[in-house]
Chain A
């Protein structure tokens, strides 16, 4: 089981948390749970309710629609990010490729934390604004 400080180091690599101060990532780390999946286990199914974000500590997870692979999340990568902000059902299925250790952030716990911690909210909004600005830049350059 990783400690809070180890979780913080992982969370720093998640795009939407990249602008959150490390001290506040520690609060975020405190609401994460470690979950283990064996090879070929399903993390979630397409059309399941979106209720959590996952971060790969060890192993890798395949994101696919039926047999069509969309992407793979490897170590230190996050998937299911939008579940934190959107209640729409999962659009892909997530299946463990190997035995995998994941960190899970529950949507309701996350919303509660945002409500109490303005620095995390600011950091997440800033990261999303950066992402949007990047997308706009790409559209304009095309």
Chain B
């Protein structure tokens, strides 16, 4: 059991070890420091000020923490994370020096300040560590590694608490001098953060996650959203009561502790031990009991545990007040609140649609939590100052509050199941957004129930959600679903069965090794291997020798997906040859499996087979081979893969394969994009490959291509940069080449605008075509200008301004102009201002001529500019429009165009000269 527990806890893979060790150490140190400071804060305040002032400091803390955390979150959006953390930690270190210096003056306000400061430190240190963790790990890694990091924090808390007591008691270190140790720890943590930042790999986030845009919303709208949902209202109510009761219990605990340990040293030691051990109990509950309790009691049961324990604790405080009772009371609160109850509270959000969850959860975590701590402070002040209640009498208030809380948890039970059912029907639960596996009894029950519906999409959705759950109740419905007509359902059903202990159902699964779907066949073999007592090698060897080619190919697929090196050796050349010799549809199915297997083992003796698969007549086989080549990462296949970008049938597969190559692909892509003998489609597909490699090297290379104005690819390069900028704002896009491209694009805009003015009233077909082409070019220019602006300024703001500017609605246009006027700065603003100005195109064109020092007075001059320009379509249209104008110069330019590289330009020049209209 221990092995199973720690096996799932320490699932750190090769390549993640160093990073995880550093992250673990970092969180450990932050919490050590916090648990040095926390007892010091409490004991200094309780001894030097007075426990009766605790409600006041609760209110001050609530009032100060909200703006500080809000400011911090704002800063986190504009500063690079490592800089943000270094700066914040630097400020915290300076604060600590100042506080240590101020403590010697023994003024009460210093202790108020220190108390509030430590609370803010707690909020910031945790928040910034998890921000860093989210930047360092992707979603899949997060699910595996975050539990381990959390463990680092708990061990840190325990160490901090225990060591505080130890050094104060045994080394005579004064409580204020603990601050110097914290300063040392914080300096070390800055170093660690910067090392972590340097070695962290670039993270690719799931596409759907990247595209969810952050919306700024007023508190009023968030309130409105919460008010509309009974479920959310109950969550807010429960969290509010949790925080208020916690403040009351904390007050009782601190007052009784102060009475029991009157000196600072004794109190610091006691509090250090208490907080440290509380973390240990919390860890024990989290690791050993949370999963089981949630499974047995469900979410609604788990969230009643804390109020139930507190009501019992408060009753004992009422009748037997004293240190033991209050330690148990505060212990129950501290240990359950951050283990079972916290997990339960997080799961309450499960049926809330993702968009609503994102908006409301931040609000609830940030504000409800802290506001109600402040409200509790005010209530405590009223109880102690006005009503003059004793510690014992305060227990009555706690009992009343906890009763309300319990009532809410009972209401939540029904509401949660209803909300869950509704969300399941609407398919609004986002399983990928969860950091925990579904273990909730109610959730599993509801999902299992939905497996019996006739709605295929609902079944598929539920099976996806249950894919990581191990639960006996799943076996029966999953076995039934294995008989479904839908291969999508069968694939998922067998995948769910693989996670269960299905020894007794082996015959049911064995039937599916002859399933019509290749994935079901493959998974059936994998399930049989995992659940059989027989040696895996023997089972696989038997299937590889099966006379049915489909079973042989499924065994090959199973080995390539799940097999180890020994198992891969079972795929011998005669087996491969036997699969290649099969004709028809069956042959294709076998070759697809074989092509997939090639990605997992590399044998020089199979080169010729690989060549056969690369040039197979079946698209499915070639596609699978392309992906396998990406996994093999052999440079000799790179040119072939790049050429495949030109073929629509294989383009997305080639892109995926090239991304798998990683950094070694850059130099060849750079060479291909510059080679004008390579087809334009291939060259235009290259920038999108770099979107799959989201790092600074990709940005730099794309920027270099913009700077060199490679023909025909400017637009796709800028689009690729836009995608990287939107999805990976941490990458650096500040570059002179982008600025230069923006200036060039603006100049072209003015030239086109002027040319358009000269041709707007043309009444010949050629003149109208040219005018239309100029209008389209101008629209395209404007889009590119905004795309380039989006690389320097906030992309969402720029996009909104663009939509406003091209809108037909005057208000939207005016708002966009006003916004751009405030946003843009320096030379760029000066150059772009006439485009945005409402003074008309005539004015804009004149300003453009002045700003870029060019003049276009006649149609002839405009046509000359266009024919000499780089836009081949405008060049062709301009040539087509020349016969109307008597000009030797134009005639010379048209004759020169006879040798143009672009076939349309050349053909149009031939046409114009053949018609002899000059």
Asked if A and B bind, the verdict is yes
Give per-residue flags for A1-21: 1 if the beta carbon is below 8 A from chain B beta carbons, else 0: 001111011001000000001
- Assess A22 versus B772: contact at CB under 8 Å? Given A112-B648, A115-B648: yes
- Assess A23 versus B773: contact at CB under 8 Å? Given A5-B880, A116-B681: yes
Compute how far the CA of A6 lies from the CA of B877 in the bound complex, rounded to whole angstroms. Answer: 10
- Enumerate chain A residues within 8 angstroms of B907, measured Cβ to Cβ: 3-5
- Assess A23 versus B648: contact at CB under 8 Å? Given A3-B911, A4-B907: no
**Residues 108-125 of A contacting B (Cβ, < 8 Å):** 112, 115-116
Contact of A22 with B769 in the complex, beta carbons under 8 Å? yes
B776: interface (CB < 8 Å): yes
Contact of B765 with A9 in the complex, beta carbons under 8 Å? yes
B908: interface (CB < 8 Å): yes
Contact of B911 with A5 in the complex, beta carbons under 8 Å? yes
Compute how far the CA of A61 lies from the CA of B709 in the bound complex, rounded to whole angstroms. Answer: 48
- Enumerate chain B residues within 8 angstroms of A116, measured Cβ to Cβ: 648, 681
- Enumerate chain B residues within 8 angstroms of A26, measured Cβ to Cβ: 873, 876, 904
- Enumerate chain A residues within 8 angstroms of B908, measured Cβ to Cβ: 3-5
Smallest beta-carbon distance A116→chain B, Å: 6
Compute how far the CA of A112 lies from the CA of B648 in the bound complex, rounded to whole angstroms. Answer: 9
Contact of B904 with A22 in the complex, beta carbons under 8 Å? no
Contact of A22 with B911 in the complex, beta carbons under 8 Å? no
Smallest beta-carbon distance A14→chain B, Å: 15
- Enumerate chain A residues within 8 angstroms of B880, measured Cβ to Cβ: 5
**Residues 371-402 of B contacting A (Cβ, < 8 Å):** none
Q: CB-nearest residue of chain A relative to B765?
A: A9
Contact of B648 with A5 in the complex, beta carbons under 8 Å? no
Select B773's contact among A6, A22, A115, beta carbons within 8 Å. Answer: A22
- Enumerate chain B residues within 8 angstroms of A9, measured Cβ to Cβ: 765, 769
Smallest beta-carbon distance A8→chain B, Å: 7
Contact of A22 with B648 in the complex, beta carbons under 8 Å? no
Q: CB-nearest residue of chain A relative to B876?
A: A5
Contact of B911 with A23 in the complex, beta carbons under 8 Å? no
Compute how far the CA of A9 lies from the CA of B772 in the bound complex, rounded to whole angstroms. Answer: 11
- Enumerate chain A residues within 8 angstroms of B765, measured Cβ to Cβ: 9
- Assess A23 versus B769: contact at CB under 8 Å? Given A3-B911, A4-B907, A116-B681: no
- Enumerate chain B residues within 8 angstroms of A3, measured Cβ to Cβ: 907-908, 910-911
Contact of B911 with A21 in the complex, beta carbons under 8 Å? no
Smallest beta-carbon distance B660→chain A, Å: 24
Compute how far the CA of A106 lies from the CA of B911 in the bound complex, rounded to whole angstroms. Answer: 26
Smallest beta-carbon distance A25→chain B, Å: 10
Select B904's contact among A5, A21, A112, A115, beta carbons within 8 Å. Answer: A5
**Residues 893-918 of B contacting A (Cβ, < 8 Å):** 903-904, 907-908, 910-911
- Secondary structure of the A contact surface, majority rule: helix
- Assess A22 versus B877: contact at CB under 8 Å? Given A8-B769, A115-B648: yes
Give per-residue flags for B633-675: 1 if the beta carbon is below 8 A from chain A beta carbons, else 0: 0000000000000001000000000000000000000000000
Smallest beta-carbon distance A91→chain B, Å: 31
Give per-residue flags for B859-897: 1 if the beta carbon is below 8 A from chain A beta carbons, else 0: 000000000000001001100100000000000000000
- Enumerate chain B residues within 8 angstroms of A8, measured Cβ to Cβ: 769
Smallest beta-carbon distance A17→chain B, Å: 13
- Enumerate chain B residues within 8 angstroms of A21, measured Cβ to Cβ: 776
Compute how far the CA of A112 lies from the CA of B904 in the bound complex, rounded to whole angstroms. Answer: 21
Contact of A4 with B772 in the complex, beta carbons under 8 Å? no
Compute how far the CA of A23 lies from the CA of B911 in the bound complex, rounded to whole angstroms. Answer: 18
Smallest beta-carbon distance A31→chain B, Å: 14
Compute how far the CA of A6 lies from the CA of B904 in the bound complex, rounded to whole angstroms. Answer: 11
- Enumerate chain A residues within 8 angstroms of B769, measured Cβ to Cβ: 5, 8-9, 12, 22
Smallest beta-carbon distance B681→chain A, Å: 7
Smallest beta-carbon distance B262→chain A, Å: 77
Q: CB-nearest residue of chain B relative to A9?
A: B765
Compute how far the CA of A18 lies from the CA of B853 in the bound complex, rounded to whole angstroms. Answer: 37
Compute how far the CA of A3 lies from the CA of B648 in the bound complex, rounded to whole angstroms. Answer: 27
Smallest beta-carbon distance A9→chain B, Å: 5
Contact of B681 with A23 in the complex, beta carbons under 8 Å? no
Smallest beta-carbon distance A115→chain B, Å: 5
Compute how far the CA of A116 lies from the CA of B877 in the bound complex, rounded to whole angstroms. Answer: 23
Smallest beta-carbon distance A37→chain B, Å: 24
Q: CB-nearest residue of chain A relative to B649?
A: A115
Compute how far the CA of A112 lies from the CA of B649 in the bound complex, rounded to whole angstroms. Answer: 10
Smallest beta-carbon distance B718→chain A, Å: 15
Smallest beta-carbon distance B884→chain A, Å: 15
- Enumerate chain A residues within 8 angstroms of B772, measured Cβ to Cβ: 12, 22
- Enumerate chain A residues within 8 angstroms of B773, measured Cβ to Cβ: 22-23
Smallest beta-carbon distance A121→chain B, Å: 13
Compute how far the CA of A21 lies from the CA of B781 in the bound complex, rounded to whole angstroms. Answer: 14
**Residues 304-332 of B contacting A (Cβ, < 8 Å):** none
Compute how far the CA of A112 lies from the CA of B681 in the bound complex, rounded to whole angstroms. Answer: 13
- Enumerate chain B residues within 8 angstroms of A112, measured Cβ to Cβ: 648
Select A22's contact among B681, B873, B903, beta carbons within 8 Å. Answer: B873
- Enumerate chain A residues within 8 angstroms of B648, measured Cβ to Cβ: 112, 115-116
Smallest beta-carbon distance B873→chain A, Å: 4
Smallest beta-carbon distance A20→chain B, Å: 10
Smallest beta-carbon distance A127→chain B, Å: 15
Compute how far the CA of A24 lies from the CA of B251 in the bound complex, rounded to whole angstroms. Answer: 74
Q: CB-nearest residue of chain A relative to B651?
A: A116
Q: CB-nearest residue of chain B relative to A2?
A: B911
Smallest beta-carbon distance A75→chain B, Å: 13
Give per-residue flags for B406-419: 1 if the beta carbon is below 8 A from chain A beta carbons, else 0: 00000000000000
Give per-residue flags for B760-772: 1 if the beta carbon is below 8 A from chain A beta carbons, else 0: 0000010001001
**Residues 75-106 of A contacting B (Cβ, < 8 Å):** none
Q: CB-nearest residue of chain A relative to B773?
A: A22
Compute how far the CA of A23 lies from the CA of B871 in the bound complex, rounded to whole angstroms. Answer: 10
- Enumerate chain A residues within 8 angstroms of B873, measured Cβ to Cβ: 22-23, 26
Compute how far the CA of A137 lies from the CA of B910 in the bound complex, rounded to whole angstroms. Answer: 47
Smallest beta-carbon distance B853→chain A, Å: 28
Compute how far the CA of A112 lies from the CA of B651 in the bound complex, rounded to whole angstroms. Answer: 13
- Assess A5 versus B776: contact at CB under 8 Å? Given A22-B769, A115-B648, A116-B681: no
Smallest beta-carbon distance A92→chain B, Å: 30
Select B776's contact among A4, A23, A115, beta carbons within 8 Å. Answer: A23
Smallest beta-carbon distance A48→chain B, Å: 28
- Enumerate chain B residues within 8 angstroms of A6, measured Cβ to Cβ: 911
Contact of B877 with A4 in the complex, beta carbons under 8 Å? no
Contact of B904 with A4 in the complex, beta carbons under 8 Å? yes
Give per-residue flags for B736-773: 1 if the beta carbon is below 8 A from chain A beta carbons, else 0: 00000000000000000000000000000100010011
A interface list, Cβ under 8 A from B: 3-6, 8-9, 12, 21-23, 26, 112, 115-116
A-B contact pairs, 24 of them (CB 8 A): A4-B907, A4-B908, A5-B769, A5-B877, A5-B880, A5-B911, A6-B911, A9-B765, A9-B769, A12-B769, A12-B772, A21-B776, A22-B772, A22-B773, A22-B873, A22-B877, A23-B773, A23-B776, A23-B873, A26-B873, A26-B904, A112-B648, A116-B648, A116-B681
B interface list, Cβ under 8 A from A: 648, 681, 765, 769, 772-773, 776, 873, 876-877, 880, 903-904, 907-908, 910-911
In the A-B complex, the 3 residue pairs with the smallest Cβ-Cβ separation, listed nearest first, are A23-B873, A21-B776, A3-B911
